[in-house]
Structure 1
Amino acid sequence: MDIKQIINDHYDSMVELRRYMHQHPEISFQEMNTKKWIYDQIKDLGLEIRQDVGGNGIVARLQVNDDFETVALRADFDALPIHDEKDVPYRSKTPGVMHACGHDAHTAMLITMAKILTAHKEELPVNVVFLHQHAEELLPGGAKAMIEDGALEGVDYVFGTHVSTKFPVGTVKYNYDTMYANADSFKITVRGLGGHGATPQVTHDPIIASASLIQQVQTIVSRSVSPLDSAVVTIGAYNAGTVFNVIPGTAEIKGTFRTYTPEVREIVAKRLEQICLGISASFNVNADLEIMYGYPSMKNDHALLDYVADNVRENAAFVSGVEEVGPAMGGEDFSYFIQEKPGCYFYTGVSNSDKKADIPHHHPLFDIDEDGMKTGVETLLKAVLNFDKRAK
Structure 2
Amino acid sequence: MCQSVSKHRHLLKGNILLIFQHAEEKPPGGAKEMIAQNILEDVDYVFAAHLDSSLEVGKVAIGPGYQMAAVDHFKIHLKGLGGHAARPHEAVDALVAGAELVTGLQKIVSRNINPLHSAVVTIGKFQSGTAFNVIAENAFLEGTVRTYDESVRHHIKNRIEQITKGISSAHNIESEIEYLFGYPALYNDPEQTEKVKRALMEGFGEEAVIEQTPSMGAEDFAYFLLEKPGTYFKVGSRNEREETQYPHHHGNFDIDERALFNIQKAFAFIAHDYLNGAIGSEL
TM-score (norm 2): 0.93
1:353 aligns to 2:240 (yes or no): yes
Deviation at 1:154, TM superposition (A): 2.1
Work out the CA distance in 1 between the residues paired with 2:178 and 2:159: 13
1:248 aligns to 2:136 (yes or no): yes
Match of 1:324 among 208, 211, 222: 211
Judge conservation of contact 1:125–1:386 (CA < 8 Å) in 2.
no
TM-score (norm 1): 0.68
Given residue 323 of structure 1, which amino acid in structure 2 is its aligned partner?
I
CA displacement 1:176-216 (0-9 Å, x = unmatched): 12110011111111111112222221111110000000011
Deviation at 1:117, TM superposition (A): 5.1
1:133 aligns to 2:21 (yes or no): yes
Counterpart for residue 208 of structure 1: 96
Deviation at 1:226, TM superposition (A): 1.1
Judge conservation of contact 1:318–1:378 (CA < 8 Å) in 2.
no
Match of 1:194 among 79, 82, 88: 82
**1:350/1:116 CA distance change after superposition, 3 Å:** farther
Match of 2:253 among 366, 373, 386: 366
Work out the CA distance in 2 between the residues paired with 1:116 and 1:170: 27
Counterpart for residue 228 of structure 1: 116
Work out the CA distance in 2 between the residues paired with 1:165 and 1:359: 6
Deviation at 1:317, TM superposition (A): 5.5
**1:181/1:376 CA distance change after superposition, 3 Å:** same
Counterpart for residue 35 of structure 2: 147
Counterpart for residue 155 of structure 2: 267
Work out the CA distance in 2 between the residues paired with 1:186 and 1:269: 9
Judge conservation of contact 1:183–1:258 (CA < 8 Å) in 2.
yes
**1:310/1:245 CA distance change after superposition, 3 Å:** same
Work out the CA distance in 1 between the residues paired with 2:62 and 2:8: 28
3-state SS in 2 of match to 1:216: helix
Q: List structure 1 segments (4+ residues) > 4 angstroms apart after TM superposition.
A: 115-119, 317-320
3-state SS in 2 of match to 1:126: coil
**1:307/1:136 CA distance change after superposition, 3 Å:** same
Counterpart for residue 224 of structure 2: 337
CA displacement 1:127-169 (0-9 Å, x = unmatched): 1111111111011111101111222122221111000011111
3-state SS in 2 of match to 1:253: strand
3-state SS in 2 of match to 1:128: coil
Given residue 98 of structure 2, which amino acid in structure 1 is its aligned partner?
S
**1:116/1:261 CA distance change after superposition, 3 Å:** farther
> Would you say how many aligned residue pairs link Structure 1 and Structure 2?
279
Greater relative contact order (Cα < 8 A, sep 6+):
2
Work out the CA distance in 2 between the residues paired with 1:321 and 1:118: 32
Work out the CA distance in 2 between the residues paired with 1:275 and 1:205: 17
Deviation at 1:306, TM superposition (A): 1.5
Given residue 270 of structure 1, which amino acid in structure 2 is its aligned partner?
N
Judge conservation of contact 1:237–1:253 (CA < 8 Å) in 2.
yes
Match of 2:268 among 344, 365, 381: 381
Work out the CA distance in 2 between the residues paired with 1:143 and 1:200: 51
Work out the CA distance in 2 between the residues paired with 1:117 and 1:297: 36
**1:317/1:341 CA distance change after superposition, 3 Å:** closer
Given residue 347 of structure 1, which amino acid in structure 2 is its aligned partner?
K
1:238 aligns to 2:238 (yes or no): no
Q: Report sequence identity in percent.
A: 41
Judge conservation of contact 1:318–1:375 (CA < 8 Å) in 2.
no
Counterpart for residue 123 of structure 1: 11
Deviates more, 1:317-326 or 1:261-270: 317-326
Given residue 200 of structure 1, which amino acid in structure 2 is its aligned partner?
P
CA displacement 1:234-258 (0-9 Å, x = unmatched): 1101111222222232111000010
Deviation at 1:287, TM superposition (A): 2.3
Give structure 1 stretches of 5+ with no counterpart: 1-44, 47-114
Work out the CA distance in 2 between the residues paired with 1:242 and 1:138: 31
Aligned positions of 1:6-25 closer than 5 A: none
3-state SS in 2 of match to 1:150: coil
1:181 aligns to 2:55 (yes or no): no
Work out the CA distance in 2 between the residues paired with 1:171 and 1:232: 29
RMSD in angstroms over aligned alpha carbons?
1.8
**1:205/1:120 CA distance change after superposition, 3 Å:** farther
Deviation at 1:365, TM superposition (A): 0.5
